[in-house]
């Protein structure tokens, strides 16, 4: 009888301690992330040649290939246009009648994770894979006792959400005399890849292409996606316009 009583008291104290510990960790996390924090990472720097004022003409295209259908790529374009016009640049809808071209694609916009930080997202550079290899891109940071009623209730109220936006960008500048480009490609077929096909092509074009990737993150307690988007859009548009 006494053994059962002592064991019950011990288990109750242990559970209470674990729940309290989980609650404490969540409270500390909430305090640490009460203010909005942001990061921005570029895979490599883009250097553009300066041109005379009459040649400061830019063509811009931003595309969205994420599963966020309500994410308007024109938000980024509009901010870039406003910032570049403030620097004295003209914006054109004709890609042939321009000195510079900005062609970008939004690859990812959602919750970040350990495998999709700004550093990891830009590690492979333009066209590289996103994040690590665990495949878990969406997560919410929290702590506590899984399955405990009190911990779960507190967890539903306190979540440190970290959102990321990743965009690949090609900035092209017109070069006098043109640019000679050679492209090599190698294709493999068959289960063992025993059949190979190599293709080589060369061409001369008017534009020199610079490629980079930008990743921005925004983190705060109970941050919603629709609240994070304007922040991420502003940071990315600032970075793109800062190249000029």
pLDDT tens-digit readout, 95-113: 999 999 999 999 999 998 7
Exposed/middle/buried for residue 186 (C-beta within 10 Å: 0-12, 13-18, 19+): exposed
Tokens of 236: 């990315």
What is the pLDDT, as a whole number, of residue 225? 95
Domain with 86, as residue range(s), is 2-241
What is the pLDDT, as a whole number, of residue 179? 75
Q: With a cut of 70, which residues of the chain have pLDDT below it?
A: 1-33, 114-118, 120-121, 123-124, 127, 129-157, 178, 180, 185, 187, 189-194
What is the pLDDT, as a whole number, of residue 181? 72
> For the packed helices 225-241 and 73-86, what is the interaxial angle rounded to 10 degrees?
40
Q: How many domains does the chain have?
A: 1
What is the pLDDT, as a whole number, of residue 192? 61
Spell out the alpha helix ranges (H) of 33-125.
73-86, 118-121
pTM attached to this predicted model: 0.69
């Amino acid at each position: 009888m006494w053994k059962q009583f002592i064991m019950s008291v011990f288990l109750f104290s242990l559970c209470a301690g674990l729940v309290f510990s989980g609650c404490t960790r969540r409270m500390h996390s909430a305090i640490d992330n009460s203010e909005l924090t942001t990061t921005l990472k570029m895979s490599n720097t883009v250097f553009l040649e300066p041109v005379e004022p009459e040649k400061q003409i830019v063509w811009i295209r931003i595309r969205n290939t994420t599963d966020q259908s309500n994410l308007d790529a024109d938000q980024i374009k509009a901010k870039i246009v406003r910032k570049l016009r403030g620097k004295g640049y003209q914006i054109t809808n004709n890609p042939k009648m321009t000195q510079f071209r900005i062609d970008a694609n939004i690859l990812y916009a959602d919750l970040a994770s350990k495998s999709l930080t700004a550093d990891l997202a830009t590690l492979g550079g333009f066209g590289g894979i996103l994040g690590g290899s665990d495949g878990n891109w969406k997560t919410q940071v929290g702590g506590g006792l899984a399955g405990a009623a009190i911990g779960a209730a507190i967890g539903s109220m306190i979540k440190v959400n970290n959102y990321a936006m990743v965009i690949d960008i090609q900035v092209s500048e017109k070069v006098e005399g043109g640019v000679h480009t050679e492209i090599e490609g190698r294709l493999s077929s068959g289960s063992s890849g025993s059949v190979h096909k190599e293709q080589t092509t060369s061409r001369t074009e008017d534009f020199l292409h610079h490629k980079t990737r930008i990743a921005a993150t925004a983190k705060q307690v109970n941050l919603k996606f629709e609240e994070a988007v304007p922040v991420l859009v502003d940071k990315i548009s600032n970075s793109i316009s800062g190249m000029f």
